[in-house]
Structure 1
Amino acid sequence: MTKVVHKFGGSSLSSATRYKAVANIVLGHCKAGDCVVVSAAGKTTNTLVKLWQSYVQQDDKAFNDILLQVENHQRQLLSELFSEASAQSLRSQLQDELVTIAKAANARTLHEATLLAHGEVWSARLLAHLLNTLNVSASDVDARGLFAQHQGQLLHAQNKQACLSQIDTSKINVVTGFIAADCDGNTITLGRNGSDYSATLLANYIDAEAVSIWTDTQGVFSTDPRKVGSAVKYPKVCRVQANLLARLGNPVLHAKTLSPLKDTNIKLQVRSSYEPEIIGTEIVKQGYSKEKRFITTFEELDLIRVEELVNGEVRTLSQLIQHSIHHFSKGGEDYLLVPSNDTHAVATHLQGRGNIVETHLRGVALVAPEYEITQLSQQAAVVLEQQDVVIRFTHSDSNYALFLTDQSIDSDVLAILHDKLVNKGREIAVIIAGLGNVGEVFVEQCQAQIEKLQAAFDLKVVALLRSKEMLFCPSGISISNWQQQWRSESQHYSQADLLERISELDYEHKVIIDITASDAFSDMYPSFVEQDCHLISANKYAGTAPRNWYAKLLEQLQERNLFWRYNTSVGAGLPINFALADLQNSGDKVTRIEGVFSGTLSWLCSSYDGSQPFSDLVIKAQQMGYTEPDPREDLSGRDMQRKLLILARDLGLELDVEDIELEPLMPTHLAQGDWGAFLANKQDLDVFYAQRAEQAARDGKALRYTGALDIDEHGKVAAKVGIAYVESGSAIANLTPGDNIFVITSQWYQQNPLVIQGPGAGKEVTAAGIHSDLYWLTQNLK
């Protein structure tokens, strides 16, 4: 059975509200047999540490005051989470434990690790009980029965057997983090960030498929997002870089956490318990992700030079101080970066072999791919000098550079470093499919647009595609003379060829811009997403695909933290999709959309005045290039039907195209046969349209071809595309020939609907709309 381990830290359990939020996450992400590892709630561990310190100092008053704080916090959680009856047994257990603590203090037999363990025990018990009240079978598990150590070494074989036998596959197991036991059954702790370590250890022992570390950040960023607003959240980070960041003091992950995952296929994710809907960062094996750029800062470190460093001694020292220690060699000598508060303990252990070189250092570390580190470290040194930062010690290795300074690296300096070294290096590979009328104009507009976007991204058009040929250049195509390059370098390709070339692109981001009208090309969207490509579509087929296919594509995009923009699939460059999104995001509820979504049908209906047969207008529109090669495709209404479906799905409605009633703008029998057969019987179209136009005139109305979507107060949906008789004074009746119009009624636009009107076709406005989607994408990637 597949098992997943979820870990929640103290900040995720800091209040009753947070407990409920975590319970909701568990309900949505866990099934029987999964494990939830928990830390002590909020600042409980810190409070228990103060309690221990007051005990050691024999300050009875402080001890009693702090113990009362602990009790009040736990009782408050109980009262806010449970009814009086439901909490009775928990209160009784809590009271017994508090009495035991007080008695041990009075007898001077209190044990530090046993005292600290209460925080995790209480968290596990509370969460398990909360889940049971929500009708989810759960039990709390004390990790002291799972993890055993002997002389500081975990007994892996014994622990694995204990975990496999004690983890209940019929329940959700809420396991205490941070604590373990020695061979005599005495409580021990796993040290700083021990709960993360508990989670990955447990995953290793039960052969889990994945571990999710739920914390107060969305994932692993290029730098501290609290200090630099433009920090980049990476969807994937390789374990080697994650391990290096941990050794350098990055607070999100710690080297000890990663060690149980070595040589396993267990997936590790970092996610936010405050924003569980956002996909976090996956920590993957080397080779499964391009190496990224990071900047991490640190405070209060001492630099110690060590003589005759023994193999494994760094690990021993890290365990001694319960903190990662970074070790490097320079000039044939070994150095350690140690938190200043722990220097004395490290120096004592080294017994005279450690010499303090620099004290109370601050600084910054740059982590990057090996081929970039030399140039980037030189740029970093220049930036620090320009910002008057005095560097006391530097060191560069194959994949990182250290700059140790006197002063802290403040947010302003960090932001400048990030802008110069990280954001400037961000690249986007653009693949453009479809070089017809709109596609050619889009490519022509690209040169100016790329220059506009270069301030934040290095954007390169790497591929141009027609139905059977492609021009592919990973380093970028020269847009100014792409036609010449196409003539000399374009090649025939298959779908497999294209996907293979995309998989080889070594860019931070990739985007497919689909300006085709090909359903076969849109069928490839899931494959593009598997290659971590964002999507921009003028193509309507994917947006109107069968519901299951469409829903699976959306899920796939969300899982990979990718974007899909398709504003030009409806209304060319008109911002209809943006408007619908803004209304919903602001809390409004759309109840009706009506309009004319076809430039062709807009022109035909608005131009007809009875002075000439309707079929003559159709032929004229065909000759002017307003229609499809066979105008019956426009008259069928299927294009408007697809557009209305896209708008419906933008509103979150689960419709398929068959759910939208369709009334063609021609007699049914004229859809049969070829275009010649249509021309031979075109008088049937004239009679069909004239009868309806006369009916409209008798009623004082205008004949138009519209799409309409209605949502009643119970959520019932009615959707139709067809002939409509509209009030002569309405915006739809007075529509400029060729324009599109969208009339949106909502709770806030009830009496006076929101109207969006303008050209709904045309290669220039459509190309500009695609560029708008590309600009939106880059801004959101920032």
Structure 2
Amino acid sequence: MKQSNAAEKLTADQNQLAKHAIQVHKFGGSSLASAQCIVRVVDIIRQHCQLNDIVVVSANGGTTDALFALYHQAILQTETLEISLHDIKSMQAQLISELLSSSNEKRLLTQLDADCAQLKKWLENSPQQHQADILAFGELWSARLLSEVLSEKVCPSFMVDSRDFLVIDNDKACQVNTQVSKTQLYQLKQRHKLAVITGYIAKNSQNETCTLGRNGSDYSATIMASLVGALNVTLWTDVDGIYSADPRVVPSARKLHRLPNGVAKELGRLGNPVLHAKTLQPLTDHSTHLHVASSFDPSISGTEIGKFGQIAKQELSVTFLNDLLLAQSDSFTGNLGEQAQQEFSAVCGDDKAGFIVIHQEQQKAVSQWLASHDTEVKFTPASILATVGHKVIHHGDVQARFKRSLRHSKTFARVNSPNEHSIMAVLTQACTTELLNNVHHDMTKDARHIGLVVAGLGNIGERFLEMLPAQLSRVPALENVHLVGLVSSKKALFNNDGIEVNQALSLYQKDAQPIDKSELMSWLANHPYDELVVVDVTPSEQFSLLYEDFFKQGIHVIGANKWAASSSTDNYKSLLASAAKSKSLWFGNTTVGAGLPINYAINDLLNSGDNITEISGIFSGTLSWIFETYDGTLPFSKLMLDALSQGITEPDPREDLSGRDVQRKLLILARAAGFELSLADIKCQNLVPDALQTLSIPDFLAAADQLDSFFSEQLNQAKEQQCCIRYIARFSVSESGKLTAKVGLEVLSNNDAFANLTPCDNIFQIKSGWYQENPLIIRGPGAGRDVTASGIHSDLVNICQRLNTRQSQVKLKGID
């Protein structure tokens, strides 16, 4: 929202707003740690929230820790209590002063004074009785401040103390009284205002303050989502998503863009540093999707958790828990073993082998439980290392890989989780960083997912798609490539769970929807893949203008489209700079020569240290056919019309005869060779007389015999010299550095390398420091749906080989 019209937009008619599904946005402590952070949060809310959404907040960063320290000082009756209380108050007062206008500042400071007076009273007289009330102040202050800032700068807002509606049974289980909580929440809602609600705190059935445990604000957010039936919950935090391992410990961890609900819940149970065990519980019976995103860089696509198809179900991650206990007893076998696992929510267990794995603080409770069964128990320090994925215990290849990855470690047992989403190794020593990294490498080294979008579904695009199923099944580099988008000039089909490649074109015809540029870029900017490759098989200059946006989003491009690579010098330089900055790859081998490896050859020469001095040849398959076939037996116009009827020329043959296509191709190759020039620097002979250039296509074809005398004269003059005529492109650089470039009709010896081609062939001749007397020549079909489509596939394999070895930089501010 623009600030000037924010209030107007957010205070629109309630019936209109009700059409939008409610969203819940939760901001963690690090996201609210300073005035600068809060300003960033306000901007996120401005862009992403509607009035009927809910904002849930943690305490400002560091506040809860400070309140805990204050509580312990009160218990110990230390002399620094007064100083610590003053520091907390000063920190809050500074945030208020930095963010609010003078009138609201004065009011909130007065409320802060009252709160601190109450806080001091509890700390001095009854800290243990009021522990939860003391800790609750962090969320109370955070919500009050954010609500006031929003009311000043964005839209009408109100603060809600979650203790006024959220009822749980007790601090330990934190089970929600759903009906009471839902009724009371709806009674507190205010029309035309955005609700800012405290996380982490609630009340029990005795009306006493309770806390939901560390990271309880995430749990609060999902509870509120379940109460209001929210479509989405976004956890705005200090990392940009969920990773395949803890990125603080495993530098090669990759972001998991989408996670099935069950897998995410298992990750939270087994120690993921962002997800927490209780967070997903309230969403079990809802279709709500959970997002994890970074408030420090909201433009980066985060992780989405929900119900997904097969691609998301292929994701694997590795997690660990140290400081556990392995408890072995006869009572942990059979039915009693199952009962013990449920009673203590064991990390894992085996009722045949007679053991469970528990957290250290559960040792006393387990001992007491076993005492009632009069059996002995052996406790051993332990840890677990787990591979987590959708129904992973049913994948024999994953089981085998996990076993191999642990071959050098002392493993007590391997256990499959009852929910089927994890395979756990029980270790009788701590899980080391080295072991974690080694296992993560073995389990996820081939897991990068690459999304493929094909733009242009004409002759070449169709052939590319026809060839795709066989390529995906036989080329290892394409193992994790998924066709996810099909785009034409007016319609598109996108499917995050993949488009069935064998039915791609029929699915497009059936399901494609109208799309404009902004909708296309919105989808591409939020794709759920490690990498995205756009294959541009369009002839569209308009589509090529999107390359800059693609590169800014880190999207890779394979272009058979010549427009971008032959655009103005300034635009071409800008595209190269944008691609380099975002590490986007841009391949275009089929822009010249269809599937012939001319671009690869030039690149290889440059990489090997050679200097290219000349590029020449016949670059047009159409003009190759025409001049190899034209011998004077038929008038030139009849030959041209024959080529048109066979589909050899463009629908308007003047596109070929103008030489502009050859001119662009020469420019592309010269730039690929490292030279800076533009189309204007390349002289171009147009073979169409001025009088015919502006006619309509039918009128031009009707007057085509006006071409005959010119070409007959050119051919006869060449024959008199025992030569032939060909349309040649030439680029050269002199020893002094002078560039010369032209395309046009030339008279060649019948023995020339360019004189005797199979009709439609292209030929490229390169002279360089190493290929001077005996030039490098590449010759072959320069057009055709098969060779062009295969050239695009070659680019796809090349680009995927590079991407599969690329390590993404983990953007990590820290984990709460």
What TM-score range do you get, normalising by the shorter chain?
Answer: 0.5 to 0.7
Greater radius of gyration (CA): 2
**Offset of residue 415 of structure 1:** 2.5
Q: Indicate how the Cα distance of structure 1 residues 670 and 772 shifts in structure 2: closer, same or farther if over 3 A, else same.
A: farther
**Offset of residue 83 of structure 1:** 4.6
**Offset of residue 359 of structure 1:** 3.7
Q: Indicate how the Cα distance of structure 1 residues 373 and 533 shifts in structure 2: closer, same or farther if over 3 A, else same.
A: closer
Query: Partner residue of 1:452?
Result: none
**Offset of residue 147 of structure 1:** 0.4
- 1:224 pairs, out of 246, 249, 255, with 246
**Offset of residue 63 of structure 1:** 2.2
Q: Indicate how the Cα distance of structure 1 residues 291 and 583 shifts in structure 2: closer, same or farther if over 3 A, else same.
A: closer
Q: Deviations over 1:478-519 (max 9, x none)?
A: 89xxxxxxxxxxxxxxxxxxxxxxxxx9x75404799xxxx8
Q: Does 1:476 align with 2:466?
A: no
Q: Indicate how the Cα distance of structure 1 residues 118 and 287 shifts in structure 2: closer, same or farther if over 3 A, else same.
A: same
Q: Indicate how the Cα distance of structure 1 residues 478 and 546 shifts in structure 2: closer, same or farther if over 3 A, else same.
A: closer
**Offset of residue 547 of structure 1:** 11
User: In 2, Cα distance between the equivalents of 1:197 and 1:642?
Assistant: 59
Q: Deviations over 1:167-222 (max 9, x none)?
A: 33422211100101123432111223211111111111112111112222222222
User: In 2, Cα distance between the equivalents of 1:396 and 1:347?
Assistant: 25
Query: Partner residue of 2:388?
Result: 367
User: In 1, Cα distance between the equivalents of 2:662 and 2:182?
Assistant: 61
Q: In the alignment, is the contact (CA less than 8 A) between 2:337 and 2:350 conserved in 1? A: no
**Offset of residue 32 of structure 1:** 0.3
**Offset of residue 621 of structure 1:** 14
Give the 3-state SS of the residue equivalent to 1:102 in structure 2. Answer: helix
Query: Partner residue of 1:262?
Result: 284
Q: Indicate how the Cα distance of structure 1 residues 206 and 547 shifts in structure 2: closer, same or farther if over 3 A, else same.
A: closer
Query: Partner residue of 2:519?
Result: 552
Q: Give 1:20's aligned amino acid.
A: V
Residues 154-165 of structure 1 mapped to structure 2, 5 A cutoff: 154-165=176-187
Give the 3-state SS of the residue equivalent to 2:221 in structure 1. Answer: helix
Q: Does 1:395 align with 2:404?
A: no
Give the 3-state SS of the residue equivalent to 1:229 in structure 2. Answer: coil
Q: Does 1:166 align with 2:188?
A: yes
Give the 3-state SS of the residue equivalent to 2:473 in structure 1. Answer: coil
Query: Partner residue of 1:568?
Result: 559
Q: Does 1:18 align with 2:12?
A: no
Q: Give 1:80's aligned amino acid.
A: E
Q: In the alignment, is the contact (CA less than 8 A) between 1:34 and 1:171 conserved in 2? A: no
Q: Does 1:147 align with 2:166?
A: yes
- 2:85 pairs, out of 67, 79, 86, with 67
Query: Partner residue of 1:510?
Result: 482
Give the 3-state SS of the residue equivalent to 2:385 in structure 1. Answer: strand
Q: Give 1:90's aligned amino acid.
A: L
Q: Give 2:410's aligned amino acid.
A: V
- 1:300 pairs, out of 308, 311, 323, with 323
- 1:8 pairs, out of 2, 8, 27, with 27
**Offset of residue 97 of structure 1:** 0.9
Give the 3-state SS of the residue equivalent to 2:55 in structure 1. Answer: strand
Residues 463-542 of structure 1 mapped to structure 2, 5 A cutoff: 466=463, 472=469, 476-477=473-474, 509-511=481-483, 525-527=492-494, 531=498
Q: Does 1:103 align with 2:121?
A: yes
Q: Give 2:146's aligned amino acid.
A: L
Q: In the alignment, is the contact (CA less than 8 A) between 2:235 and 2:290 conserved in 1? A: yes
Q: Indicate how the Cα distance of structure 1 residues 438 and 390 shifts in structure 2: closer, same or farther if over 3 A, else same.
A: same
User: In 1, Cα distance between the equivalents of 2:267 and 2:62?
Assistant: 25
User: In 1, Cα distance between the equivalents of 2:279 and 2:687?
Assistant: 63
Q: Does 1:580 align with 2:574?
A: yes
- 1:343 pairs, out of 358, 363, 378, with 363
User: In 2, Cα distance between the equivalents of 1:684 and 1:133?
Assistant: 80
Query: Partner residue of 1:285?
Result: 307
Q: In the alignment, is the contact (CA less than 8 A) between 1:433 and 1:466 conserved in 2? A: no
**Offset of residue 475 of structure 1:** 8.0
User: In 2, Cα distance between the equivalents of 1:253 and 1:641?
Assistant: 57
Q: Indicate how the Cα distance of structure 1 residues 417 and 578 shifts in structure 2: closer, same or farther if over 3 A, else same.
A: farther
Query: Partner residue of 1:30?
Result: 49
User: In 2, Cα distance between the equivalents of 1:5 and 1:574?
Assistant: 45
TM-score, normalising length from structure 1? 0.66
Deviates more, 1:239-248 or 1:375-384: 375-384
User: In 2, Cα distance between the equivalents of 1:685 and 1:173?
Assistant: 80
Identity %: 29
Q: In the alignment, is the contact (CA less than 8 A) between 1:391 and 1:405 conserved in 2? A: yes
Give the 3-state SS of the residue equivalent to 2:520 in structure 1. Answer: helix
Query: Partner residue of 2:214?
Result: 192
Q: Does 1:128 align with 2:147?
A: yes
User: In 2, Cα distance between the equivalents of 1:92 and 1:768?
Assistant: 70
Q: Indicate how the Cα distance of structure 1 residues 570 and 429 shifts in structure 2: closer, same or farther if over 3 A, else same.
A: closer
Q: Indicate how the Cα distance of structure 1 residues 473 and 96 shifts in structure 2: closer, same or farther if over 3 A, else same.
A: same
Structure 2: gaps (5+ residues) = 1-17, 502-511, 535-556, 583-590, 594-616, 625-635, 666-685, 712-728, 730-736, 746-761, 765-777, 809-816
Give the 3-state SS of the residue equivalent to 1:185 in structure 2. Answer: coil
Q: Does 1:81 align with 2:99?
A: yes
Give the 3-state SS of the residue equivalent to 1:295 in structure 2. Answer: strand
**Offset of residue 71 of structure 1:** 1.8
Structure 1: gaps (5+ residues) = 319-324, 440-464, 480-504, 535-544, 589-596, 608-614, 644-662, 687-704, 706-728, 741-757
Q: Give 1:262's aligned amino acid.
A: T
Q: Deviations over 1:707-735 (max 9, x none)?
A: xxxxxxxxxxxxxxxxxxxxxx9968668
Q: Indicate how the Cα distance of structure 1 residues 677 and 315 shifts in structure 2: closer, same or farther if over 3 A, else same.
A: same
Q: In the alignment, is the contact (CA less than 8 A) between 1:373 and 1:401 conserved in 2? A: no
Deviates more, 1:410-419 or 1:7-16: 410-419
**Offset of residue 383 of structure 1:** 3.1
Q: In the alignment, is the contact (CA less than 8 A) between 1:150 and 1:182 conserved in 2? A: yes
User: In 1, Cα distance between the equivalents of 2:55 and 2:385?
Assistant: 35
Q: Give 1:550's aligned amino acid.
A: K
User: In 1, Cα distance between the equivalents of 2:698 and 2:706?
Assistant: 11
User: In 2, Cα distance between the equivalents of 1:473 and 1:355?
Assistant: 61
Q: In the alignment, is the contact (CA less than 8 A) between 1:304 and 1:355 conserved in 2? A: no
**Offset of residue 400 of structure 1:** 2.4
**Offset of residue 139 of structure 1:** 1.5
**Offset of residue 89 of structure 1:** 1.5
Q: Give 2:313's aligned amino acid.
A: K
User: In 2, Cα distance between the equivalents of 1:580 and 1:149?
Assistant: 58
Residues 438-477 of structure 1 mapped to structure 2, 5 A cutoff: 466=463, 472=469, 476-477=473-474
Q: In the alignment, is the contact (CA less than 8 A) between 1:144 and 1:179 conserved in 2? A: yes
Q: In the alignment, is the contact (CA less than 8 A) between 2:341 and 2:356 conserved in 1? A: no
Give the 3-state SS of the residue equivalent to 2:406 in structure 1. Answer: helix
User: In 1, Cα distance between the equivalents of 2:43 and 2:708?
Assistant: 64
Query: Partner residue of 2:772?
Result: none
- 1:93 pairs, out of 111, 124, 145, with 111
Query: Partner residue of 1:671?
Result: 696
Q: Give 1:366's aligned amino acid.
A: T
Give the 3-state SS of the residue equivalent to 1:70 in structure 2. Answer: helix
Query: Partner residue of 1:496?
Result: none
**Offset of residue 101 of structure 1:** 1.1
Give the 3-state SS of the residue equivalent to 2:278 in structure 1. Answer: helix
User: In 1, Cα distance between the equivalents of 2:466 and 2:499?
Assistant: 23
**Offset of residue 244 of structure 1:** 1.8
User: In 1, Cα distance between the equivalents of 2:49 and 2:805?
Assistant: 34
- 2:270 pairs, out of 229, 241, 248, with 248
User: In 2, Cα distance between the equivalents of 1:641 and 1:210?
Assistant: 53
Alpha-carbon RMSD across the aligned residues, in angstroms, is 5.3
